[in-house]
Amino acid sequence: MLLLARTTPRDQVVKRTEGLSVFLVDMREALAGGGMTIHPIRTMMNHGTTEMFFDRMAIPASSLIGEEGQGFRYILSGMNAERILIGAECIGDAKWFVEKAVAYAGEREVFGRPIGQNQGVAHPLAKSWAELESANLLAFKAAALYDLGKDCGAEANASKYLGAEAGFTACENAVLAHGGMGYAKEYDVERYFREAMIARIAPISREMILNFIAERVLGLPKSY
Ligand SMILES: Cc1cc2nc3c(=O)[nH]c(=O)nc-3n(C[C@H](O)[C@H](O)[C@H](O)COP(=O)(O)OP(=O)(O)OC[C@H]3O[C@@H](n4cnc5c(N)ncnc54)[C@H](O)[C@@H]3O)c2cc1C
């Protein structure tokens, strides 16, 4: 486990992001030592997340990553990569939802014609295509900046935001295009409905992404 922990008390540093360090923790050792306990949280997705408790957990000094007190910078860099990755995952999901819905809308006939011939069915799918393609472009821009070692915080966050929204909306559109069959396990879209929600919340909520863009990109006053 990568663990970010405060190693210098808050009142001894100027900024609250200073004085934090990252450790690589051997979870088997930590669990055996009794300083760490994990309680699974029952969630709407399998193995969604857990609650963790630390109580005087001892770890060897060799588990420190990089320089003491610089941990927040390291975590931020990793977070940008994670955001690009999750944005890309959501875009892949969105593509699948659109393909799945288009296939169904092309073959399902009601009143003697395929339902995809109705613009009320076709337009949401076309809109999802446009949304996922634009999210994809920003994800590639963020990935290119990351690979060049350049600052990509705004692009990484925005591509995760757009990818998650495009993925969720495409999923909703896919369920709706299937009508009542959207609820049927046979068509495989219903189970994703729960999973498509998570990228809008974790590892960072869309509100926090918008706060970041408002403050760091647009220069608006801090909201907290
Ligand atoms: C399945 C799953 C897996 C997870 N995995 C991990 C993990 O591996 N590692 C990890 O560290 N965390 C993980 N998390 C936690 C996740 O990162 C947080 O749940 C998420 O960042 C939201 O934080 P919170 O739950 O504390 O919400 P809160 O901070 O309590 O916020 C609740 C709501 O209020 C909004 N809000 C709060 N403050 C503001 C503000 N100033 N402006 C606007 N809106 C605001 C939030 O956006 C959110 O919608 C996971 C969560 C889930 C559900």
Among 213, 77, 85, 86, which residue's Cα sits nearest to residue 149? 77
Confidence of residue 49 (pLDDT cuts 50, 70, 90): confident
pLDDT score recorded for residue 44: 85
CA 208 to ligand 1 center in whole angstroms:
9
Cα–Cα distance measured from residue 99 to residue 90, given in angstroms and rounded to the nearest whole number: 14
How far does residue 207's CA lie from ligand 1's centre (Å)? 10
Please, are residues 161 and 134 in contact by the beta-carbon 8 Å criterion? no
Question: CA dihedral in degrees (135, 138, 142, 148; nearest 10)?
Answer: 140
User: Which of the four pLDDT bands, split at 50, 70 and 90, describes residue 76?
Assistant: confident
Residue nearest (by alpha carbon) to ligand 1 atom 32: 205
> At 91, which amino acid appears?
I
Whether the per-residue pLDDT at 46 is higher than 80: the answer is: no
3 state DSSP class of 19: coil
Spatial distance between the Cα atoms of 114 and 82, rounded to a whole number of angstroms: 40
pLDDT (average), residues 129-153: 97
* Ligand 1 atom closest to Cα of residue 206: 47
3-state SS class at 189:
coil
3-class DSSP state for residue 178? coil
The model carries a pTM of 0.90
| Rounded Cα–Cα distance for residues 8 and 72 (Å) | 13
User: For ligand 1, atom 45, which residue shows the shortest CA distance?
Assistant: 207
**Residue pointed to by tokens 């757009």:** 162
* C-alpha span between 153 and 158 (Å, rounded): 8
Taking residues 93-119, what's their average pLDDT?
Answer: 98
Tell me which residue has its CA closest to atom 36 in ligand 1.
207
